[in-house]
Copies of this chain bind each other. A is one copy, B any other.
């Protein structure tokens, strides 16, 4: 296996934390997003969507999309389980992971990519250029506020996002919270359940990934 990463980017960090929690050691290639390495060959042939993370399997298959890479790693190294332990749990984890990817991670992405000058014409990831839409900065920030609130409400009743155990749903939420720092947003101190959870997950050794 070979892991295509960009050590400064939030999206592959979801997989870096997953790998750290699994205790895996996978040869890693850094893709320089600032230099546009993801938009040119040979990376573009590996992943036509021009995104990291990518996991290249030994047979040459390239898996992109963070959740799909994690799905592979969960099968390859089942312990500790990060995607659920039985049918009900797997569905609950998938629900929260998916919801917080959209409401958290992609909401921050929306605000960030439509705002930053250096990403003019690059409002969406992918091989094609997409112009920024300034209204999406405001919309994205509003969505992040709601994400913080829902996160706090859920953690008022459970120690972790999807229940009793640390899972991929925590990873997605945690990376989204850290990514929100890029648009100068952070968990409001009044969201004490989320703040407490964030302290706990940030103390895990995997958070350094």
Binding site for B on A (CB under 8 A): 48-49, 55, 57, 59, 61, 63-65, 67-69, 71-72, 75-76, 87-88, 90-92, 94-95, 98-99, 124, 126, 128, 130, 133, 135-136, 139, 142-143, 146, 150
A63 contacts which of B55, B59, B95, B150 (Cβ < 8 Å)? Answer: B95
Give Cα A51–Cα B49 distance, bound, in whole angstroms: 29
* Also in contact, A75 and B87, with CB within 8 A (given A48-B150, A99-B49, A136-B133): yes
Can you tell how many copies of this chain the complex includes? 2
Structural contact, B67 and A90, CB atoms closer than 8 A:
no
Give Cα A143–Cα B57 distance, bound, in whole angstroms: 29
* Also in contact, A94 and B76, with CB within 8 A (given A49-B99, A57-B88): no
| Dominant secondary structure of chain A at its interface with chain B | helix
Residues on the B chain within 8 Å of A72, using CB: 87-88, 90-91
Structural contact, A65 and B99, CB atoms closer than 8 A:
yes
Residues on the B chain within 8 Å of A143, using CB: 124
* Also in contact, A67 and B94, with CB within 8 A (given A133-B139, A135-B133, A139-B133): yes
Give Cα A90–Cα B48 distance, bound, in whole angstroms: 20
List 29 A–B pairs whose Cβ atoms lie within 8 Å, in order of A's numbering. Answer: A48-B150, A57-B88, A61-B91, A63-B91, A63-B95, A64-B95, A65-B94, A65-B95, A65-B98, A65-B99, A67-B94, A68-B91, A68-B92, A68-B94, A68-B98, A69-B91, A71-B94, A72-B87, A72-B88, A72-B90, A72-B91, A75-B90, A75-B91, A126-B146, A128-B146, A133-B133, A133-B135, A133-B136, A135-B135
